[in-house]
Amino acid sequence: MELIMTHTQPFAGKTAIVFGGSRGIGAAAARRLARDGADVVITYVSAPEKAAETVKAIEEQGGKALAVKADSADPAAIKAAVIHAVERFGQLDIAVVNAGILMIKDVADFSVEDLDRMLNINVRGVYLAIQAAAGFMQRGGRIITIGSNAAVRSGHPGSSVYSMTKGAVAIMVKGIAVDLAPQGITVNNIQPGPIATDMTSDMIDALKPMIPVRRAGEPDEIGGLVAYLASAESGYMTGSSITIDGGLAL
């Protein structure tokens, strides 16, 4: 099979949605996809100013972007965001599911309410985002979830629930990849280790000595992997979880 794409903008004419794309890894993925030619819709829930900054950054580079408020704990909001993307740009080719929350608490201190919120956003929300996006994709569609290396390495006290949700995403991707393979849609999962973002700012310094490469990852490094998994070159990869964590999970 011959792969044909432009070197500068392989996603020209394509539309991407990035759930949780206002900041951190999601914003980096949105910027990279836009730089490579995609029209991009990002969702946000609690940081409208960050969402606006990401849209502005994309537009200043000549791209097209739109921010949509959508809580990933709300099934109706997830579906509405996808419909909005399709109505605005006419199609949907790439979905990046990055929305998630992190709570670190000892098992004795985890309330039912906190447990439900983690599951609703980190597991149910991921499933519903994939379901909504896949319903509008044609052959060649790409779905990429952002999990965590906690799915394979849970050595931090208080991380049991977070690790459980990320492990669930890794298994979920395997099953959905099989379901969507006949439609020509691939589904893959990225499992980052410590990345320098707002979410990890209070723990990065403590983690650096444990990372073999002795540094945290950068959001743009994850964005680069997103771009590969969204490309035509990745068409033979589906159902995979790729850990990118500076060697921490070795």
pLDDT digits (tens, 9 = 90+) for 82-140: 999 999 999 999 999 998 999 989 999 999 999 999 999 999 999 999 999 999 999 99
Confidence of residue 152 (pLDDT cuts 50, 70, 90): confident
Q: Report, as residue numbers or ranges, the catalytic residues.
A: 162
Q: Would 249 be classed as within a structural domain?
A: no
Domain count, the chain: 1
CB 160 within 8 A of CB 107: yes
In which element (H, E) is residue 40 found? strand 39-44
**Does 36 map to a domain?**
yes
Structure tokens at 136: 């509008």
In whole angstroms, how far apart are CA 49 and each of 54, 55, 77? 9, 10, 19
Within-domain flag for 7: no
No. of H helices and E strands in the chain? Answer: 8, 7
9 found inside a domain = no
Residue 217 and residue 238: Cα distance in Å, rounded?
Answer: 24
Tens of pLDDT along 43-72? Answer: 999 889 999 999 999 999 999 999 999 999
- Where are the alpha helices (H) located in the chain, listed in sequence order? 24-35, 48-60, 75-89, 112-119, 125-134, 160-180, 204-207, 219-230
Domain with 138 in it: what CATH number? Answer: 3.40.50.720
Q: Is the dihedral of CA 32, 124, 43, 219 positive or negative?
A: negative
**Confidence at 5, pLDDT banded by 50, 70, 90:** very low
User: Is 67 domain-assigned?
Assistant: yes
Domain that holds residue 89: 15-244
